[in-house]
Amino acid sequence: MTQMLRSENKLEMLQAHLGYILESTLLEEMAQVAKIRETATDEIVVNVGDHLQMIPIVIDGSIKISRENESGDELLLYYMEGGDTCAMSLQCCTRKIDSQIKATSMEPSLLLMFPTEYMERWLDQYKTWRQFILDSYHTRMIELMESIDAIAFMNLDQRLLKYLSDQAKILGSVEINHTHQQVADDLHSSRVVISRLLKQLETKGEIKLSRNKIILLKF
């Protein structure tokens, strides 16, 4: 059903999220070329090494952006929510290189996908689009600095609690449906260590653990 939505529906989505930033002529052009994509929880939207032909803007839901090494280990970088696009994917697009990041849906999400050639063209044609992209770079840079600070200056138990709080804010729920392995992957740690720290947080009354679920009690 979603795939049958007409460009007017896409325009309404864009107006709701970006109408206060981008001019109407650009929004109309974007609606004409956008493709709708629905994703399930944990679905990979972009993978490391992908040749990028389409760049997403999130309409509903949330997307996790991470780095992955050759062994498959991941490091969480930042999140994308409604109205966000992926600055690192845009950089790969403009530099004509394959994707350097992995984008994964944290929950069922709705994306508008745009051909890369249009996104480059709009940089020259529309000042508001150029400002939107610059703002996206700035926001992502701040989030990357926060991630680096957490790794460099926080103990793992502090990083874990911050991670859980961030997840709750993004997902809009104190119930986080992640396995201990998923949390460990995001924090670039081991499942055994994360399970031990989660148990300590439960003992302190910060969280409650159940099968594949972590419930924040103090949020």
Q: Which domain holds residue 196?
A: 155-216
One domain, residues 18 and 33: yes
Q: Could you list the mean pLDDT of each consecutive 10-residue stretch along the chain, which spans 219 residues?
A: 58 92 94 94 91 90 87 83 86 81 93 89 92 91 86 87 91 90 88 92 90 86
Distance CA 165, CA 152 (A): 19
One domain, residues 128 and 94: yes
Q: What is the pLDDT of residue 8?
A: 67
Q: What is the pLDDT of residue 148?
A: 84
One domain, residues 12 and 57: yes
Closest to 36 (Cα-Cα) out of 114, 91, 124, 141: 114
| Both tokens assigned to 48 | 């490391």
Q: Which residue intervals of 4-126 are DSSP H helices?
A: 7-18, 24-33, 87-95, 116-125
Q: What is the pLDDT of residue 1?
A: 39
Distance CA 155, CA 149 (A): 11
Domain boundary among 151, 179, 194: 151
pTM for the predicted model, two decimal places: 0.80
| Both tokens assigned to 163 | 């991670």
Q: What is the CATH number of the domain that holds 105?
A: 2.60.120.10
One domain, residues 140 and 168: no
One domain, residues 61 and 100: yes
Distance CA 217, CA 202 (A): 9
DSSP string, 169-192: HHHTSSEE---HHHHHHHTT--HH
Distance CA 44, CA 195 (A): 25
